[in-house]
Amino acid sequence: MAQLFDRVAILGVGLIGGSLGLALRRGSLARRVVGVGHRQASLDLALKMGAVDEATLDPLEGVKGAELVVLGTAIRLIVEMGAKVAPHLSPGVVVTDVGSTKSEIVRRLEKTLPAGVSFVGAHPIAGSEKRGIDAARPDLFQKSVCVLTPTAATDPKALRRVSDLWTAVGASVFTLSCEDHDAILARTSHLPHLVAAALVASLAAPDARFVGPGLRDTTRIAAGDVDVWCDIFLSNRAAVLDAMAGFTERMSELRRAVESGDRAQLAQLLAAAKSRRDSLRPE
Amino acid sequence: MAQLFDRVAILGVGLIGGSLGLALRRGSLARRVVGVGHRQASLDLALKMGAVDEATLDPLEGVKGAELVVLGTAIRLIVEMGAKVAPHLSPGVVVTDVGSTKSEIVRRLEKTLPAGVSFVGAHPIAGSEKRGIDAARPDLFQKSVCVLTPTAATDPKALRRVSDLWTAVGASVFTLSCEDHDAILARTSHLPHLVAAALVASLAAPDARFVGPGLRDTTRIAAGDVDVWCDIFLSNRAAVLDAMAGFTERMSELRRAVESGDRAQLAQLLAAAKSRRDSLRPE
């Protein structure tokens, strides 16, 4: 694969940032990858695993001379990190992120970054259950989906370069507006997490012994990291609340069918759900 | 393993009835297993697979001389089938079922069966996604849970014999009241199915491409058989509606935390759910 970038700075070398570093280095996609973190132990591990060529605790040091800056921190720190390094970025630098929600991050970063610096919002959809550099893998993005969320302000050339980056590490790249991204992810990812949490919270003391594969599957994601999910829900509130409202309406339909004992109606709702589930792309 | 029964009649040789037949014959737990069905093709397959020693389309023929009668049909046919064979059962015969809901079935069967015939309600919790004799396996009940639901009218000796049966085929046997069984299963099995159906029904047209493992896990059971699940919901209405009400309350708590942007409250709810999910017995 041809080299796509000269120097790439990854700010936040966790699961996503670390996996991106590994993939970039394995594919010789960047001349040099520098990792920035806030814990020396994680940076040492990133170096040892080969996720980065060099590592520093200092973001300003990290972005020096970088052609591409990847904001890979926790969602609530992405904008802050962008603002911190902004004054140190030269015109022509491309900045991107890996946040799971987009509207808020993109709107705020576009205001923050200096003229001549191009920002492209990105969400690689991969590996949500684990965190940290120890879980990073060079093939994390193989056969994954990465959504880019350009706005009217996005430089088409920067968009192309970020798209090439994700394609090169194995992702299928899709382009959505921030609003569409956030609404879709609210339904496909954020709502299921809230529902899983509510389901497991609905259990009573004697239930644990009688839990079968159905409940286990349905609630698996409720074991996800609390901080990560708080960030997601709070940075995508409007879309999450919309998705919850839609779900509540579907639950009410089912409740009414059960309550009235209307077998035909219940069967119709369950059959529609089954046919939709059957049509999801295979795992 | 010692022989537990002389002649066993299994009425309804599908996934559960067929797997029970296979396990009984493999373990030499019955002198003879007779299968009763309503389709000759299924009975032929049951014979070929070795799930039964003999097979008949006639329930009255099937129960002749049986020491144990297992009502293994679809839930809504269990009571009807019990009523049909009732006049042909001699005192001392033990009747049991495999229905996924208990209060309604047990109450109605206890009224239907003649004096001297003992009924023991049972629910082997196993293999809910598939149906039919083709999916039957002799080890289906290994490491599974089987709930027995005796009432004041249950003969203790019959209870012991049915308990020995399920223990012998590999299940851990628990005893619950019908009401407790139905309330627990409403939360651990019936509610998750309704929630999965509502989740998948909440998706919009462009979402399918962005479905990850989280949503797939959460909605897997929505692909279950519509008829089976209609039977379950409609025969356990009160407990299902209670479970739905509890779940709705948990969802409202989460919604309020998201709506108000109260991170501490949201984190507390998610952490409680996570710790409960983490404590479920391993898969």
Percentages (nearest 5) of helix, strand, coil residues in chain A:
55, 15, 30
| Residue percentage of chain A with pLDDT more than 70 | 98
The answer to whether B269 contacts A197, with C-beta atoms less than 8 Å apart, is yes
From the candidate CATH numbers 3.40.720.10, 3.40.50.720, 3.40.50.300, 2.70.98.60, the one assigned to the domain spanning B5-176 = 3.40.50.720
Chain B: closest CA distance from residue A226 (Å): 6
| A160: DSSP letter | H
The pLDDT-based confidence of A95 (bands split at 50, 70, 90) is very high
Highest mean pLDDT among A128-132, A256-260, B206-210 belongs to A256-260
Nearest to A100, CA basis, from A155, A178, A39? A178
Q: How is chain A split into domains, by residue range?
A: 5-176, 180-278
Evaluate if residue B128 carries a pLDDT over 60.
no
Evaluate if residue A128 carries a pLDDT over 60.
no
The answer to whether B258 contacts A281, with C-beta atoms less than 8 Å apart, is no
Domain A180-278 of CATH type 1.10.3660.10:
yes
Question: What is the per-residue pLDDT across B132-142, written as a single tens digit (0 to 9) for each?
Answer: 999 999 999 99
Evaluate if residue A281 carries a pLDDT over 70.
no
State the pLDDT at residue B1.
66
Average pLDDT in the B244-255 region? 98
The pLDDT-based confidence of B2 (bands split at 50, 70, 90) is confident
Average pLDDT in the A44-56 region? 98
Report yes or no on whether pTM surpasses 0.80: yes
Chain B: closest CA distance from residue A76 (Å): 12
Query: Which chain B positions have a beta carbon within 8 Å of A272's beta carbon?
Result: 201
State the pLDDT at residue B280.
86
State the pLDDT at residue B134.
94
Give per-residue burial for A201-224: e unless 16+ CB within 10 Å, then b: bbbeeebeebbbbbbbbbbbbbbb
A276 to chain B, any CB pair closer than 8 A? The answer is: yes
B48 to chain A, any CB pair closer than 8 A? The answer is: no
Chain A: closest CA distance from residue B12 (Å): 23
The answer to whether B195 contacts A199, with C-beta atoms less than 8 Å apart, is yes
Rounded to a whole number of angstroms, the distance between the first and last alpha carbons of chain A is 28
State the pLDDT at residue B4.
96
| Residue percentage of chain B with pLDDT more than 70 | 98
Average pLDDT in the A149-164 region? 98
The pLDDT-based confidence of A54 (bands split at 50, 70, 90) is very high
Chain A: closest CA distance from residue B71 (Å): 22
What is the rounded average pLDDT for all residues in chain B?
95
Evaluate if residue B110 carries a pLDDT over 90.
yes
Residues 117-176 of A with CB under 8 A from B: 125, 128, 145, 147, 174
Evaluate if residue B44 carries a pLDDT over 80.
yes
Residues 52-111 of A with CB under 8 A from B: none
**Residues near B9 by beta carbon (within 8 Å), at least 6 away in sequence:** B34, B35, B36, B62, B63, B66, B68, B69, B70
What is the rounded average pLDDT for all residues in chain A?
95
Evaluate if residue B88 carries a pLDDT over 80.
yes
User: Which tokens is A59 given?
Assistant: 């973001």
Residues 172-201 of A with CB under 8 A from B: 174, 180, 183-185, 187-189, 191-201
A275 to chain B, any CB pair closer than 8 A? The answer is: no
Domain B180-279: CATH architecture, name and number where available: Orthogonal Bundle (1.10)
Question: What is the per-residue pLDDT across A4-42, written as a single tens digit (0 to 9) for each?
Answer: 999 999 999 999 999 999 999 999 999 999 999 999 999
ipTM for the whole complex = 0.92
In this complex, the residue of B223, B251, B273 whose CB is nearest that of residue A277 is B223
Residues 206-265 of B with CB under 8 A from A: 206-224, 226-227, 229-230, 233-234, 237, 240-241, 243-244, 246-248, 250-251, 253-255, 258-259, 261, 263
Q: What are phi and psi of B210, to 5 degrees?
A: -110, 20
